[in-house]
Amino acid sequence: MANVSYKELGLVNSKELFKKAIKGGYAIPAYNFNNMEQLQAIIIGCVETKSPVILQVSSGARKYANQTLLRFMAMGAVQMMKDMGGSIPIVLHLDHGDTVELCKSCIDTGFSSVMIDGSHHPYEKNIEETKKVVQYAHDHDVTVEGELGVLAGIEDDVSSEVSHYTKPDEVEDFVKRTGVDSLAISIGTSHGAYKFKVKPGEEPPPLRFDILEEVERRIPGFPIVLHGASSVIPAYVDMINKYGGKIDNAVGVSVQQLRKAAASAVCKINIDSDGRLALTAIIRKVFAESPKEFDPRKYLGPARDELVKMIKEKNEHVLGSAGKA
């Protein structure tokens, strides 16, 4: 299939959205999706709250959904938004791109933003790989997110047993030499539902806001991104376990800390695990209460509706993005 510009799909890049978010003291939601119901829920929730949105696709999701189908899903999302009478800006973003080639492929197939995650490389190699992506992306007016520091946890193809906090004394050099448009940093968040090793009833460790503040001081006004920022909503964990699941000791980032982060230079917050938990909780509930049910619409539909509720709650009361479209 021929290359296509994101503008032909009705998408935008993240540059102006981040400027507004930093000035307004809120964060843009970046919701991951793998299928139609997730995408529908994201669009409905963000249109109804008048929130800008970043649709995130991991490399694993791209393999799962097929890159050509994803292009048409993105077009469909824009049209769905219009059909609802909305006019929210929509970004299509590659989450955790691990190679230059993958990032280029996504740019060529209509993504308006890409992340090149070279954090697993030595520092100089990270700069080298990130710079290559930036040069190609900027030639196509596509924005680029880089990463310094490593998050613990597992999410699709991304995994690490331990976290390595971002070193503030590297960020200025990294941003200047690579030309990235935003920077994902590690301040204590973690991928997946098992973010922190705590005993039942214990509070998870606080985020390292001292690192965030030092990063802000060194690159003032520069867009910062938080990965691994799901709250691992207890109600969904409890529902999953009630209806036959087994998710033990799952702990997420507190809403209070996310609100604090969103009011700072953090202008993009990634949410994936919470969406997965919401869908799984409702599907398990339907199967348990209606064991004869086999129509996917009868369990995916209610799961989608619950995800809409969760997204609206995040936009309105956690990220502060509601009404900012």
Q: d(Cα 64, Cα 111) in Å, to the nearest integer?
A: 17
Average pLDDT over residues 33-61: 96
Top-level class of domain 6-15+26-319: alpha beta
Q: d(Cα 34, Cα 70) in Å, to the nearest integer?
A: 9
Q: d(Cα 31, Cα 15) in Å, to the nearest integer?
A: 18
Indicate if the pLDDT at residue 3 is higher than 70: yes
Active site residues: 95
Higher pLDDT, 47 or 199: 47
Q: Where are the alpha helices (DSSP H) in the chain?
A: 15-24, 36-48, 59-65, 67-83, 100-108, 123-139, 168-178, 209-218, 234-242, 255-262, 273-289, 296-314
Q: d(Cα 311, Cα 31) in Å, to the nearest integer?
A: 9
What pLDDT was estimated at residue 162?
Answer: 46
Residue 108's identity, in one-letter code, is D
User: What phi and psi values does residue 308 have, to the nearest 5 degrees?
Assistant: -60, -45
pLDDT tens digits, residue range 217-276? Answer: 999 999 999 988 888 899 999 999 999 999 987 788 889 999 999 999 899 999 999 999
What is the SS3 assignment for 186? coil
- Answer whether 0.75 is exceeded by the pTM: yes
| Mean pLDDT, all residues of the chain | 90
User: What phi and psi values does residue 50 have, to the nearest 5 degrees?
Assistant: 55, 50
To which residue do tokens 């800008």 refer? 52
What pLDDT was estimated at residue 158?
Answer: 45
Indicate if the pLDDT at residue 190 is higher than 90: no
pLDDT tens digits, residue range 129-180? Answer: 999 999 999 999 999 999 997 654 444 554 444 457 889 999 999 999 999 9
Residue 55 burial by CB count (10 A; 0-12/13-18/19+): exposed, middle or buried? buried
